[in-house]
Structure 1
Amino acid sequence: MMDTKLAFYGGTKEVQAPFNWPVFDQREVDAVAEVVRSGQWGNPDCGDLVARCEAEFAAYCGTQYAVSCVNGSVSLRLALIACGVKPGDEVIVPPYTFIATASTVIECNCVPIFVDIDPETYNLDPTRIEAAITDRTKAIIPVHFGGQACDMDAIMDIAQRHNLRVIEDAAHGHGAEYKGRKLGSIGDAGSFSFQSSKNLTSGEGGMVVTNDKELYLMMRSLRNVGRIEEGQWYEHYNPGCNYRITQMQAALLSKQLEKLEEQTQTRNNNGLLLNLLLADINGISPLTRGHGETLHGYHIYIFKYDPIFFGNTPKNQFVEMLAAEGVPCFKGYPEPLYKQPLFQNKNFMCYAIPEEVDYTQVECPEAEKACYQDAVWILQSGMLGTSDDIASFAKAIVKIQLALTA
């Protein structure tokens, strides 16, 4: 007989499978061990693993160039600086994203302008962008949130009409596609993170891809203490720092990249299955597809939660119950970025942010609703499970609903 007592209260959990991340095998171990034994651990003077990794990743994304660096935050900053932003320029960003999408703009002495998200996808809403453009706007950073492709046709059209640069924040977008093109390959540059939770990881690390040779050469210089290709070791032409990754990180990434396409297909298929399974549960609404994504990365599977259908149980308590049932889940961001103390208190330590900039007056209703009321995340490791695992996620939600409404 099935145990109907919630695991939260001591019952048997619905989901039994472990969801470990990262996924690796002897190939990663051997690749790193080979680097260790070589004694050549650094970059750029020891071996060609980093260059090979960059070439492999560029080819996978369908771009001509890739520049590796220490993390995804730095990759955004390299792209912004290479794209020519100047102090006081404005950069349009979404408010429902990791802090680095906006804080790197601050680090460039530029002004983040928050534009609300589309409630159907949680991505930057193209219909709201043009109202935010001023004569100081220089770039747009669309975030492919959760691995769901932004509406890049609309965003690129706006950017071209207003002479703006587009830097895709694809920190969640490894392997995912928009109309058959890999995310990161559509704008002027695409920024990736390889932090430990990401769908492609080396523990830490980042990468920028581009088809623009001038951007590529500038980003290479910026990440390598301002050196240029034809220069000498002690000649520094640009204000860069040492943002290089190591040979060991490159070895890990190359082996992990061999698994990415199959893993992305698995996540995509499991997301489609979970959409079907959740569609019939009152109070649960998955984010919609059909907005141009031809392959969803599902770094995060997101659904909206309506407490009315769960005995008016608050979202955070529902998520605790779901986690107790064994579903790898999270309540999502507790507030939009502009509500962070960094922006509310203007702790910028920058000289070029105009005094009249006031984030206490910013309102993005859809982002706030996602944070305060609606959004529940299932993490990417769970999206690599079997079809039975995915079915158990839905069963866990139904189990909770029945218990809370009995």
Structure 2
Amino acid sequence: MKTHHSPEGASNPRRSFLKSSGMLTAGLFLGGSLRASVPFHLSGPGNINTPAILGGQPVRPAQWIKWPIWKPETDEQRVIEVIRSGIWSRAAVVTEFEKEWAAALGAKRSLAVVNGTNALVVALNQLNIRTGDEVLVPPYTFIATISAVLSNGAMPIFVDIDPDTYQIDPDKLEAKITPRTKAILPVHILGQPADMDRIMAIAQKHNLVVIEDACQAHLAEYDHKKVGAIGHAGCFSFQNSKNLAIGEGGAIVSNDDAFMDRCFSYQNYGYPYGTMVGAISAGSTMQGTKVRLTEYQAAIGLSLLKRLDGETTIRNNNAAYLKSLINGIPGIRPYKLYDKVTRSAFHLFPFRYNQAAFKGLPREEFLKALRAEGIPCSGGYTVLNDQLFLKDAFESKAYQNSYPKEQLNFEKYVAENKCPENEQLCKEAVWFTQNMLLGPKTDMDDIASAISRIHQHAEKIKLAEKK
């Protein structure tokens, strides 16, 4: 029995979309409201309420807030100090950032690394997820989630999503558990928390570890607890599009000191650290790698972290308002949050698009029409669990020597890992980026007005596209 949902809160196509919308700079708002029959700024013969894709004036001629936001007067001092110091490799500033990030999440420890992908790689490795193990993963995620599992020689097993929240569906988890299953890797995708109570209960029942992929979920909360700090470990990304943007960067958080000491050692050539007793001069105590963060990256993170909480509140308020505006438009089905979600991150604002309710207008044509109105948008992820990078891994000697031949049959694997709810979502999803939620409520009016206008003229747009 599912416990959701509250009525409110929240490939590289995603990054191309993030870049295109993020490059837009803040400008003067000229828009009207969905509640007005004609947006205030539309005027001129033949242009009254005519969709921009059919020759009318766009609903939104103004530009969007640029991302990342950088304020020289408040943000540059720490960075300049680090550059002038000449101490650029990991030192005191990285340690300070780790302490601040852990405190922001209510976690005991944090370890900064070069990116979110390697945060996942290191966390999985030091939770002893290795060759021959299976990890339960959602199909609606960025490729890095799955790559991290493969990097440790483990087998990703896809569990379908909840069609309303887009998160891994706890109802489908136990059917995928085998004697090889060692971990559950929920992804708080789009910045919306997964159902952590049920996931943790299932993990405890089957003696599994839980690694939260919170790379898009900075400061999101489930039952007033920050995601990433609920499972055995949590992983974050600070890539340029993220709500805390450093350019590149990532972090692991946990309350387990021994685990965090192992992670520190592993990401620093395996040199001993903390409870990993020994002296660096004596050599490494484990096989390791080098994925350390730099001092100037940490300085950027410290500067921008000061604004993250306030920006998260703005995103949540605007997302709730935008949802209220578009909820009644036929064919538009906004996200839902689980009852215990007390805050979303809204790295992305998602909804589902029903082509039939728009006179059969295909989603790609809907997206084109939205962009013509000055509203950057994306169709989001494509199906992940049948992509050839998986086949490539299965054909490697490491996998061939470690798994039964039958388990590495790619066609059989694809059939057993089909996720029909995810496949449908990939056909229907529409995304707006988090920077679009940082402006005034009138920006949300523009988005809703554009969607309403396209719905009103969907038949004409469809016919025009056929010509």
Q: TM-score, normalised by structure 2?
A: 0.83
2:86 maps to 39
1:213 maps to 257
2:304 maps to 256
1:18 to 61, 64, 67: 64
Amino acid at match of 1:28: D
Supply the distance in 1 between the matched residues of 2:237 and 2:421 (Cα, whole angstroms).
Answer: 26
- Preserved contact between residue 110 and residue 353 of structure 1 (Cα < 8 Å): no
Indicate the SS of the match to 1:329. Answer: coil
- Preserved contact between residue 161 and residue 168 of structure 2 (Cα < 8 Å): yes
1:325 maps to 373
- Preserved contact between residue 117 and residue 367 of structure 1 (Cα < 8 Å): yes
Supply the distance in 2 between the matched residues of 1:156 and 1:323 (Cα, whole angstroms).
Answer: 41
1:184 to 219, 222, 228: 228
Structure 1 unaligned segments of length 5 or more: list them. Answer: none
Amino acid at match of 2:424: K
- Preserved contact between residue 235 and residue 252 of structure 2 (Cα < 8 Å): yes
Amino acid at match of 1:147: G
Shift in Å, 1:10: 4.1
2:10 maps to none
Indicate the SS of the match to 1:298. Answer: coil
Supply the distance in 2 between the matched residues of 1:101 and 1:360 (Cα, whole angstroms).
Answer: 17
2:160 maps to 116
- Preserved contact between residue 150 and residue 393 of structure 2 (Cα < 8 Å): no
Larger radius of gyration: 2
Supply the distance in 1 between the matched residues of 2:340 and 2:395 (Cα, whole angstroms).
Answer: 37
Please list the CA deviations of residues 150-196 of structure 1 after superposition, one character each: whole Å capped at 9, or x if unmatched: 00000000000000000000011001111101110000000000111
Shift in Å, 1:291: 3.1
Structure 2 vs 1, CA of residues 170 and 29 (structure 1 numbering), >3 Å: closer, same or farther? same
1:342 maps to 389
Supply the distance in 1 between the matched residues of 2:228 and 2:373 (Cα, whole angstroms).
Answer: 36
Amino acid at match of 2:78: A
- Preserved contact between residue 19 and residue 328 of structure 1 (Cα < 8 Å): no
Amino acid at match of 1:37: R
Identify the range of structure 1 (316-325 vs 182-191) with the bigger mean alpha-carbon deviation. Answer: 316-325
Supply the distance in 1 between the matched residues of 2:71 and 2:405 (Cα, whole angstroms).
Answer: 53
Shift in Å, 1:29: 2.2
**Residue 298 of structure 2 corresponds to residue 243 of structure 1:** no
1:356 maps to 406
Supply the distance in 1 between the matched residues of 2:240 and 2:115 (Cα, whole angstroms).
Answer: 11
Supply the distance in 2 between the matched residues of 1:186 and 1:93 (Cα, whole angstroms).
Answer: 17
2:25 maps to none
Amino acid at match of 2:67: W
Supply the distance in 2 between the matched residues of 1:348 and 1:54 (Cα, whole angstroms).
Answer: 39
1:390 maps to 444
2:358 maps to 310
- Preserved contact between residue 272 and residue 280 of structure 2 (Cα < 8 Å): no
Amino acid at match of 2:376: P
Structure 2 unaligned segments of length 5 or more: list them. Answer: 1-41, 461-467
- Preserved contact between residue 139 and residue 384 of structure 2 (Cα < 8 Å): yes
Please list the CA deviations of residues 189-209 of structure 1 after superposition, one character each: whole Å capped at 9, or x if unmatched: 000001111111100000000
**Number of matched residues?**
401
The correspondence of residues 42-61 of structure 1 with structure 2, limited to 5 A, is 42-44=89-91, 48-61=92-105
Indicate the SS of the match to 2:405. Answer: coil
Indicate the SS of the match to 2:280. Answer: coil
Supply the distance in 1 between the matched residues of 2:54 and 2:215 (Cα, whole angstroms).
Answer: 37
1:175 to 219, 229, 234: 219
Amino acid at match of 1:264: T
Supply the distance in 2 between the matched residues of 1:80 and 1:345 (Cα, whole angstroms).
Answer: 21
2:196 to 127, 137, 152: 152
Please list the CA deviations of residues 83-133 of structure 1 after superposition, one character each: whole Å capped at 9, or x if unmatched: 111311000000110011111111101000000000010000000000000
**Residue 285 of structure 2 corresponds to residue 285 of structure 1:** no
2:344 to 281, 293, 296: 296
- Preserved contact between residue 200 and residue 231 of structure 2 (Cα < 8 Å): yes
**Residue 160 of structure 2 corresponds to residue 105 of structure 1:** no
Shift in Å, 1:342: 1.3
RMSD: 1.5
Indicate the SS of the match to 2:77. Answer: helix
Q: Which runs of 4+ in 1 moved over 6 A?
A: none
**Residue 110 of structure 2 corresponds to residue 63 of structure 1:** no
- Preserved contact between residue 167 and residue 188 of structure 2 (Cα < 8 Å): yes
Supply the distance in 1 between the matched residues of 2:404 and 2:393 (Cα, whole angstroms).
Answer: 11
1:381 to 422, 435, 446: 435
Shift in Å, 1:73: 0.5
- Preserved contact between residue 87 and residue 109 of structure 1 (Cα < 8 Å): yes
Amino acid at match of 2:212: E
- Preserved contact between residue 175 and residue 182 of structure 1 (Cα < 8 Å): yes
1:275 to 323, 329, 334: 323
Please list the CA deviations of residues 5-62 of structure 1 after superposition, one character each: whole Å capped at 9, or x if unmatched: 3223443221223231001202222221111111111114xxx000000000001000
Shift in Å, 1:345: 5.2
Please list the CA deviations of residues 209-234 of structure 1 after superposition, one character each: whole Å capped at 9, or x if unmatched: 00011110111111111011254334
Structure 2 vs 1, CA of residues 281 and 384 (structure 1 numbering), >3 Å: closer, same or farther? same
Supply the distance in 1 between the matched residues of 2:111 and 2:432 (Cα, whole angstroms).
Answer: 31
Amino acid at match of 2:453: K
Indicate the SS of the match to 2:234. Answer: strand
Identify the range of structure 1 (120-129 vs 284-293) with the bigger mean alpha-carbon deviation. Answer: 284-293
Taking only the aligned residue pairs, the percentage that are identical comes to 41
- Preserved contact between residue 338 and residue 344 of structure 1 (Cα < 8 Å): no
